Structure 1
Amino acid sequence: MSFTVINTFTLLDPAGAEEFEARFLSHVEWMRAQPGFVAHQAVRSTERPEVYVNLGWWERPEDFQKVLAGATFQEHAEEFHKIVAVEADPSMGIARFDGAPGQPGDVLFVDSFTVEGDSADAFVKAFHAHAGAAAALDGFVAADLAKSLFARPGGFTALTRWRDAESALAATALPEYAALAALAEVRTTPAAHVAGNRAEFAPAGA
């Protein structure tokens, strides 16, 4: 599966959203042209609008590390740190489910899971079971699961996309979701699309 970079950006000044988004969109346009870059999805929390999350998918960790070490990336990072606090969570993608093509108006959720002890394998199996059941529901668009490599021991991040909130709510009523939730602590972030589209691997400019 693909190397996944998960960055959480928190505005230092809640009034700085317009400046951050302009800088971010310029940065990600440059990132899309880098070797090894596959796709990304940036979202903004609807409950905490000062918080943004971006998931970036790369072919190999080495591709991202090469970009990370470059002067252009360092210049961009220096500018970002003036307006946002950044939490990085390098991860490995371990599951992907596709449903209907993404459309404007879809709703997104970022789920942060923490699994204790030796339950990681059971959690991954439970996620597969739940995502498979959810994919059969009307309104399912896509789901990704990534495992934190070192920043969050026992940590997993899921990004799901739906036609509407009602469809997402229906998925949490499935028995497979109860089995999943029994294995991990979960923090759910309802979010709005900002840029990118993992489901369709959008080209630059989308």
Structure 2
Amino acid sequence: MPAPLFTVINTFTLKDPAGAAEFERRFLDHVQWMRQQEGFRAHQAVRATERPEVYVNLGWWARPEDFKQVLASDTFQAHAKEFHQVVDVEADPSLGVLRIDGAPGDGEPAVLVEQFTVTGDAGAFEAAYRAYAQAAARIDGFGHIDLAKSLKRPGGYTAATRWSGESAQKTARDTPEYAAVLAIAEPRTLTTAPVAGNRAPAGVADRG
């Protein structure tokens, strides 16, 4: 089985909501540079629909060492300095647990970001979430799903699921498999719209 992807989850909150266009311009320039760096695999940047001042970016790397090397570079530090002028940043380094890809749909894309805190058996939670992800992948409108375990928050997990249309998302959340997940840990949920992203090549992560 391929090694799990090191996952960097950054939450950006605009200091001034009017600065969204400027932040997105700077961020997309940064992403173009990041995609050229060794060890970079994929990313998904989204913007919260009900809190438009909030952005989340999930970045996937082959190894933590690859990201640390980029983090220490002059270019990255210059970009980070620019970002901090317009956003507050909260970083949550994590390790990939699960990744499943589906087929892109025709509906309006939406990404559900869920942050879980598990106080009980982490293995039971991961098994329940895997069963849910496999059930979700059989629903029309499923795009892809990722689950990562925080290296910073005890018992912390972040899941991101892409759907085509709200009805598919609702169908998945009405399944008994999702109810089993909720019986273990309630999430803080953020409904978002994609801003930019790409997917990792097949075979670099668990595909369910």
Q: CA RMSD in A?
A: 1.5
SS of the residue aligned with 2:85? coil
1:101 to partner: Cα distance: 3.1
CA distance in 2, matches of 1:4, 1:104: 28
**Normalized against structure 1, the TM-score is what?**
0.93
Deviation at 1:104, TM superposition (A): 7.7
SS of residue paired to 1:30:
helix
After TM superposition, the structure 1 = structure 2 runs for residues 7-86 of structure 1, keeping only pairs within 5 Å, are: 7-86=10-89
Whether 2:159 is the aligned partner of 1:158: answer yes
Unaligned runs of 5+ in 1: 202-206
Correspondence for 2:143: 141
- Identify if the C-alpha distance between structure 1 residues 111 and 53 changes in structure 2 by more than 3 Å, giving closer, same or farther: same
Residues 164 and 199 (structure 1), Cα distance of their counterparts in 2 relative to 1, 3 Å cut: farther
CA displacement at 1:128 relative to structure 2: 0.4
Deviates more, 1:100-109 or 1:125-134: 100-109
Partner SS for 2:95: strand
CA displacement at 1:141 relative to structure 2:
1.1
| Count of residue pairs the alignment pairs up | 199
> 2:6 & 2:105 partners in 1: Cα distance?
22
Partner residue in 1 for 2:180: 179
1:12 Cα offset (Å): 0.4
Secondary structure of 1:82's aligned partner? helix
Match for 2:12: what amino acid? Answer: F
- What 5-or-longer segments of structure 2 have no aligned partner? 203-208
**TM-score between the two structures when normalised by the length of structure 2:** 0.92
Distance 2:171 2:108 in 1: 18
Q: Which residue of structure 2 aligns with residue 122 of structure 1?
A: 124
For 1:105-126, what per-residue CA distance to the aligned partner results, in whole angstroms no more than 9, with x for missing partners?
3111101111113x21100000
Contact 2:143–2:162 (CA<8 Å) still a contact in 1?
yes
Displacement after TM superposition at 1:198 (Å): 2.7
Shift of 1:144: 0.4
Where does residue 94 of structure 2 map in the other structure? 91
Q: Which runs of 4+ in 1 moved over 6 A?
A: none
1:42 & 1:17 partners in 2: Cα distance? 13
Provide the C-alpha distance between the structure 2 equivalents of 1:132 and 1:26, rounded to a whole number of angstroms. 35
